[in-house]
């Protein structure tokens, strides 16, 4: 009988034989999962006989809708709850009313408050910047608050009329009568919990710096407060191991410490392109993080290469950041690297760093050898294009090498 992973203080306690649920997902999901699983099994097997993973299939999205009449069945939620850690392929949201996004629902149900997206360039991957070798970011995006909290009313609704009226009578703020209304909540406790996780990560992994990205110059009491609360966590909870950029400028030593800095969001878009070496762990509110993470993913080779995770204190779900790619589904064309590298993140989270290193090394080796999927082969004569499964086989062979 395989064993269960437990979470304590937001960290995983991993038995040598964990059972890990997977959701293959929709569109290219089943193909990329097949390729990725082969890589995971090869990497685990190569790391010694004492460890093994039992994969447990769970369903969500279209497959679940067909079989169970619901895109997110209760039994899938029970499995994630009892197993704490899961990995999934992309899940589409059917267009039209009545379907909420499975991805958003999972974040809310399991309180997965931190979206984590590493962006590291792999040699051999085409990049749109002159020197991508300096790009090695881990972007933390707050997952639950900000304009994504879902508090929104259309211009014609009674609720929007009520809020406009309230603002007019109570605060003398006169909005046009055809204004839609959205609310942007950002709270101290949720922000601090999120920043705490990012700072712990930076310290555990010996990263050089943490950059808070905000528009506090314009939105002082939401984005500006995010910045203030970020520095407060740094100073009050990790004071001995952090130093601010300002203090370093005045002569303080940064030796052995994580340097805390902040940037206005628009300036940050320039800096990740022009001065990528200056940033390391990047900590963003929800909307800034949404924009910036896709931009950073483009700098290191695009969607097919981008891994991700949604992490809370009780559960963590690892997944590629791309969608279901319906245009190439079923054609053996999808790049499984995003999901494979999400698996590497998962093994690192479980404390199996050796497995993670094997997986990352094998993806790098395969790409560097010039064997890539269609998304990376486009317009290039110096590489050989292979299908999803062949790419998975090559990476698995690399991951399993003695
Ligand atoms: P969804 O509605 O699920 O978000 P989408 O097509 O709108 O799907 P993505 O799935 O992210 O969004 O795809 C955007 C583009 O990137 C598509 O042309 C798709 O083929 C391509 N793409 C996404 N993921 C991959 C991948 N893993 N390998 C190759 N191409 C990919």
CA 6 to centroid of ligand 1, rounded, Å: 33
Nearest CA to ligand 1 atom 19: 325
Contacts of 34 (CB under 8 A, 6+ apart): 24, 388, 389, 392
Contacts of 263 (CB under 8 A, 6+ apart): 211, 212, 213, 214, 271
**300-315 confidence digits (pLDDT tens):** 988 899 999 999 999 9
CATH of domain 1-113+307-402: 3.40.718.10
List C-alpha distances in Å: 276 to 134, 202, 231, 280: 6, 17, 22, 8
Domain ranges of the chain: 1-113+307-402, 128-145+186-299, 149-185
Predicted TM-score (pTM) of the model is 0.93
List C-alpha distances in Å: 338 to 29, 84, 90, 141, 165: 11, 21, 11, 18, 48
**Amino acid 101: pLDDT:** 85
Element spanning 46, H or E? helix 29-46
Cβ–Cβ under 8 Å, residues 284 and 140: yes
> Catalytic positions, please?
148, 215, 266, 290
CA 337 to centroid of ligand 1, rounded, Å: 13
96 pLDDT band, cuts 50/70/90, is low
**Amino acid 97: pLDDT:** 54
Percent of the chain, pLDDT > 70? Answer: 99
**In this structure, what are the phi and psi dihedrals at residue 297, rounded to the nearest 5 degrees?**
-60, -40
CATH of domain 128-145+186-299: 3.40.718.10
Pocket test for ligand 1, best of 32, 298, 323 (most atoms within 8 A of CB): 323
Cβ–Cβ under 8 Å, residues 298 and 160: no
**149-202 confidence digits (pLDDT tens):** 889 999 999 999 999 999 999 999 999 999 999 999 999 999 999 999 999 999
**Amino acid 33: pLDDT:** 98
Give the mean pLDDT of 94-110. 80
Q: Which residues' Cβ are closer than 6 Å to ligand 1?
A: 90, 92, 303-304, 322-328, 334-335, 338, 375
**320-361 confidence digits (pLDDT tens):** 999 999 999 999 999 999 999 999 999 999 999 999 999 999
CA 29 to centroid of ligand 1, rounded, Å: 11
130 pLDDT band, cuts 50/70/90, is confident
Cβ–Cβ under 8 Å, residues 337 and 388: no
Computed over every residue of the chain, the mean pLDDT equals: 94
Return the structure tokens found at 129.
């910047």
Q: Which atom of ligand 1 is nearest to the CA of 323?
A: 10
Nearest CA to ligand 1 atom 29: 334
**131-144 confidence digits (pLDDT tens):** 899 999 999 999 99
3-state secondary structure (DSSP) of residue 188: helix
CA 321 to centroid of ligand 1, rounded, Å: 10
Nearest CA to ligand 1 atom 1: 323
Q: Which atom of ligand 1 is nearest to the CA of 320?
A: 27
Q: Which of 219-223, 272-276, 300-304 has the lowest mean pLDDT?
A: 300-304
Give the mean pLDDT of 382-389. 96
9 pLDDT band, cuts 50/70/90, is confident
**Amino acid 262: pLDDT:** 98
Residue 66 has pLDDT above 90, yes or no: no
């Amino acid at each position: 009988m395989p064993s269960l992973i437990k979470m304590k203080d937001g960290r995983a306690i991993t038995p040598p034989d964990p059972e890990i649920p997977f959701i293959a997902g929709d569109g290219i999901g089943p193909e990329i999962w097949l390729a990725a699983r082969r890589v995971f099994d090869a990497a685990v097997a190569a790391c010694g006989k004492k460890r093994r993973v039992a994969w447990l299939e769970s369903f969500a999205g279209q497959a679940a809708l067909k079989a169970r009449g619901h895109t997110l069945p209760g039994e899938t939620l029970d499995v994630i709850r009892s197993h704490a850690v899961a990995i999934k392929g992309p899940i589409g949201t059917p267009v039209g009313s009545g379907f909420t996004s499975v991805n958003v629902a999972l974040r809310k149900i399991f309180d997965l408050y931190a979206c984590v997206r590493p962006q590291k360039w792999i040699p051999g991957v085409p990049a749109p910047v002159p020197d991508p070798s300096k790009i090695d970011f881990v972007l933390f995006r707050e997952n639950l608050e900000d304009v994504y909290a879902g508090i929104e009313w259309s211009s014609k609704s009674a609720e929007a009329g009520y809020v406009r009226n309230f603002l007019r009578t109570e605060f003398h703020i006169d909005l046009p009568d055809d204004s839609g209304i959205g609310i942007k909540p950002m709270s101290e406790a949720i922000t601090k919990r999120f920043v705490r996780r990012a700072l712990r990560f930076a310290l555990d992994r010996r990263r050089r710096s943490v950059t808070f990205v905000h528009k506090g110059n314009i939105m002082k009491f939401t984005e500006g407060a995010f910045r203030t609360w970020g520095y407060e966590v740094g100073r009050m909870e990790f004071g001995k191991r952090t130093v601010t950029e300002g203090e370093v400028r005045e002569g303080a030593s940064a030796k052995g410490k994580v340097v805390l800095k902040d940037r206005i969001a628009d300036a940050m878009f320039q800096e990740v392109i022009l001065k990528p070496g200056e940033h390391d762990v990047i900590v963003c509110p929800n909307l800034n993080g949404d924009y910036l993470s896709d931009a950073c993913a483009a700098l290191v080779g695009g969607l097919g290469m981008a891994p991700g995770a949604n992490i809370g204190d009780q559960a963590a779900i690892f997944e590629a950041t791309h969608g279901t790619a319906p245009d190439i589904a079923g054609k053996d064309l999808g790049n499984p690297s995003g999901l494979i590298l999400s698996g590497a993140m998962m093994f690192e989270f479980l404390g199996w760093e050796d497995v993670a290193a094997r997986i990352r090394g094998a993806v790098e080796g395969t790409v560097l050898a010039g064997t890539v999927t269609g998304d990376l082969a486009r317009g290039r004569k110096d590489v050989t294009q292979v299908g999803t499964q062949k790419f998975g086989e090559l990476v698995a062979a690399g991951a399993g090498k003695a």
